[in-house]
Chains A and B, each alone.
Chain A
Amino acid sequence: MLDRAEDFLGRVTFVTGPEKHCGKTTFLNRALSLVRAAGERPAFLSIGYDGEARDSLSAARKPSVPVSPGDVVISAERFLRDGRILPEILEILPGSSAFGRICAARARRPGRIVLVGPEGNEGVARALAFLRDEGVARTVLVDGAINRITQAASWPGARFVFVLRADAASLDKSARQARRLSSLASLPAAPPGFGSGEGEHILDGPLTAATAGALPDTARAVAVEDFTKVFLDDGELRSFRTGRELLVKAPVECAGIVAVLRGVSRPAFLSRLDGETAARIAFNPYELSPEAAA
């Protein structure tokens, strides 16, 4: 799972993670190489600039992203030129970053580039709209924080990948993150017209312990915009769902959870997950299985 071109071809995939240094960009590189090997020229961008110095998949300095001729890249002009990709400017996206204007460019030769992308949901939406409206790429990969995947909901077929790392010290925490994410990604979609029926309630803002406590007792089914608006921890979420049904207005499909293990065995990690979460797990694609390495 998540190590085949078909996992990404013809769709928008958000590569997300719970924190910095979790390996998003290195995973993005792997996905891009799979897509290119299938003969496709992808478009890719990051959301903002995370300035992450090292990457957990390789433990190396933050990777710049390899670019192949024909790829469409979104980044600041200075990085486009520094990437030696001979960028052909296709569009300037609205707004700017600390590094200057954000441009969409087609690479005319190979190189490596640091990605700086639009900030915020609106900026991401505009970038994706440009890629779609101009028909510049069929396959799009977006490197960004989990709270920026809201845009994915409005793109038919868009999915997200959640990359998380686990070492001996963080094993339980990482397993909890995986379970929680899996649980949230399974929330059912609110049906059309939801909110007008008895006991149905639409929560406009985030679902937190405070907003959950302020909900009317009569609210038996509560819909939030999407799962990223849920800010309840595991226990709070379980408790909330015991008494009420939780739905999302805009579901976003989870393509899988990539577990980047370090000093932890696969069975040890899987043993801490429920069946549904375990079924979503893919492991570090840079780790050659004994069969592949033999």
Chain B
Amino acid sequence: MSGRPAGLLAPEDLADAWSFSRAEEFWDLYRPYTPYGKDERDERRVHSDRAAIEELLDRTEAAAAWLDSTREDPAARDRAGYYLKRMPRLPSSVKAEYELAEIFQVKKFLADYQGLRTALDETARDAFGLGLAAPDLAAELGKGGSDPETFFVSDAYDPALAEVRMSIARTDADLEAARSAAETRLAARHGVRLSGRDFALVPRAQAEALLADRDLAVVEPYDDRLYLVRPAADARILGLRDLRDELAARERKLEDDVIRRLSGLIASALPEIRAASERTRDFDLALARARLARDLGLVRPDLSAEGDWELTAGRFLPCEVECGDLGLAYTPLSARFGKPVTTIFGSNMGGKTVALKTVLFFQVLAQAGFHVPAASFRTRVYARLSYVGELAGERLAGLSGFGFEIHRFIRAWEGMGEGGCLAVFDEFARTTSSREAEALLSAAQAELAARPGVKSFFATHFRGLVRSPGVDYLRMRGLDRKAASECLEADAPRAERLARINRHMRYELEPDAEGPGPADALTVAALLGLPGEIVKKAEGMLR
């Protein structure tokens, strides 16, 4: 846990809740632009400190206000996005001598940071503290490069550099002239036209003629047919090359002096630059959250609840998308869970697991500092979010499955310490016999209801629970049997029947009275074509 800021849920404790709630599918939509924003996004931070969450929500609203203010000027958004996307990474430490590439990074950052500032209005700049950053350094680095976003050690940094480079340019020109003259002589005397090549392969006859002209060309055998010919360097060319080497060494020394001087300036300004990059990151993340809030119609969660958990028209986005893809209507969840423990009953396909996922999805999003897809959402912040049950891709069955569930339960139980815990149990103890499962569930619920700061939710199909005063008992409304029966055609294919049954499931919560409850499973089986005599007999047994 070293290096992890305080006030964050530990990823290893959160992993199961994250997976069950399908929070990753929402995270995929969260797209900051800068490398620093992406780094923090990838940490998947979920907070346990309410003040930190409120600060994130405030920032999102400030960014959303700026987005709204640019409705008439979408180019301003594009400009801000352009500069955010171009932000480079920055050197991580103070050094006596930075590499050229690191100086480039600092220069580019300062240029893009200034570009971002000009794309924002004063209100947005003030809200995120995007003030001027290292203007003197920016001006100094501005001398190096033909563009605000490029860098080289230009002559402007040192008159001696300009002088040595003029000498280099003259030497290069002399070398080029010598090369060109040698090439011309080679063509004129022996018909070997290099045409920009460093060397050429020529037939033996030509090579033999060239051998008599050793000052002009170097000739080496290539194979039994061809000879490799390259212009020979004369004393003047060798002298020019030596001079070129000497000038290059002098230039390198002068460049290194400039780089050391600029490095000193960068090292001094690094705290200021880092602070600017952190504020840029905060803006980038807030802007990404604000875009989501506007695009998905999200609202600010109210984190002031003491023990209540209340959601109005909450959309579990992964499910809403799936329903849309399948052409099914999605029913948002509205519920108030006042007691410490909530039990949700319901038949298979009735939506109780989705209800639990919705609870965790909203809690994770709110504690990650996001606005949420609902008309309203009220909760508190918990130090721990736990899930006990099967995860996607798992198949908990038999003794090993039961052992795994108990292991997860113990881990959740032991984590219910200071700061509160919201725990979700999906079909807990379903792998054991119903009698023992009901006893285990009843005991666990009674104990959980007595633990301060713990809010727990159970989905189960075991109806023989011993009811406790600290537990709310709800059920999914389930199948609208009449409507489902009316729309089913006797000879409809099974897939079509299933889809129609789905359409008539009522994914709403209602109070559950003690007793056997609705027999949706038998109705579904009958609608799917189970022989009538079996269904009737089963119904009789239930009565």
Contacts and interface: CB of A to CB of B under 8 A. Distances in A.
Interface string A43-77: 00000000000000011100100100000000001
A81 B100 contact: yes
Contact of A287 (B100, B150, B176, B201): B201
A29 B152 contact: no
Interface in A76-127: 77, 80-81, 84, 86-90, 92, 100-101, 103, 106, 108-110
Interface hub of B99, B172, B193 (most chain A Cβ within 10 A): B99
B151 A88 contact: yes
Given A81-B252, A86-B152, A293-B191, 5 more contacts: A88-B145, A262-B223, A293-B192, A293-B193, A294-B191
Interface in B210-237: 222-226, 228
Nearest to A106: B150
B14 interface: no
A92 B88 contact: yes
Interface string A250-285: 000000000001110100000000000000000011
Query: How many residues of B sit at the interface, in one of the four size bands?
Result: 35 or more
A89 to B, nearest CB: 4
B168 to A, nearest CB: 7
Given A263-B223, A286-B197, A103 B101 contact: yes
Interface string B164-197: 0100110010001000000000000001110011
B202 A288 contact: yes
Contacts of A138: none
Interface in B123-152: 145-146, 149-152
Given A59-B228, A89-B100, A29 B198 contact: yes
B225 A66 contact: no
B150 A88 contact: yes
A89 B228 CA distance: 37
A191 interface: no
A286 B152 contact: no
Nearest to B172: A110
Contacts of A285: 197
A84 to B, nearest CB: 5
Contacts of A293: 191-193, 200, 202-203, 206
A109 B154 CA distance: 12
Given A92-B101, A106-B150, A287 B226 contact: yes
A286 B101 contact: no
Nearest to A294: B191
B367 interface: no
A108 B152 contact: yes
A288 B150 contact: no
A18 B265 CA distance: 49
A77 B153 CA distance: 13
A109 B99 contact: no
Nearest to A76: B101
A292 B228 CA distance: 15
Interface stretch (A30-38, A192-200, A232-240): A30-38
Interface in B283-331: none
A257 B172 CA distance: 35
A88 B206 contact: no
B443 interface: no
A72 to B, nearest CB: 11
A133 B407 CA distance: 52
B258 interface: no
Contact of B224 (A29, A60, A263): A263
A213 interface: no
A58 B199 contact: yes
A290 interface: yes
Contacts of B196: 30, 33-34, 36-37
B150 A89 contact: yes
16 contacts: A58-B228, A59-B228, A88-B151, A89-B101, A92-B89, A92-B105, A103-B101, A108-B152, A109-B169, A263-B223, A286-B197, A286-B199, A287-B201, A292-B193, A293-B191, A293-B202
Contacts of B222: 59, 262
B105 A88 contact: no
Nearest to A105: B152
Nearest to B206: A293
B104 interface: yes
Contacts of B354: none
Nearest to B224: A263
A37 B195 CA distance: 9
Contacts of B225: 263, 265
B298 to A, nearest CB: 32
Contact of A90 (B150, B192, B193): B150
B248 interface: yes
Contacts of B200: 286-288, 293
Contact of A89 (B152, B203, B252): B152
A136 B248 CA distance: 27
B66 to A, nearest CB: 26
Which 6 A/B pairs are nearest by Cβ-Cβ distance? A33-B196, A88-B152, A89-B104, A263-B223, A287-B201, A262-B223
B5 to A, nearest CB: 26
A236 to B, nearest CB: 33
Nearest to B220: A59
Interface hub of B176, B191, B197 (most chain A Cβ within 10 A): B197
Interface in A1-55: 29-30, 33-34, 36-37
Contacts of A290: 203
Contact of A288 (B104, B192, B198): B192
A136 to B, nearest CB: 10
Contacts of A87: 100, 152
A294 B176 CA distance: 25
Nearest to A285: B197
Nearest to A84: B248
Contacts of B192: 288, 293
Contacts of B89: 92
Contacts of B151: 88-89
Interface in A122-167: 167
Contact of B172 (A66, A101, A109): A109
B178 to A, nearest CB: 14
A88 B169 CA distance: 17
Nearest to A103: B101
A60 B172 CA distance: 24
Interface in B80-126: 88-89, 99-101, 104-105
B99 A101 contact: yes
B101 A284 contact: no
A236 B228 CA distance: 40
Contacts of A90: 149-150
A110 B153 CA distance: 16
Contacts of A284: 201
Contacts of B88: 92
A110 B88 CA distance: 28
A88 B225 CA distance: 45
A271 B105 CA distance: 56
A83 B223 CA distance: 32
A288 B201 contact: yes
A216 B201 CA distance: 53
B438 to A, nearest CB: 48
Interface hub of A109, A287, A290 (most chain B Cβ within 10 A): A287
Contact of A92 (B104, B153, B199): B104
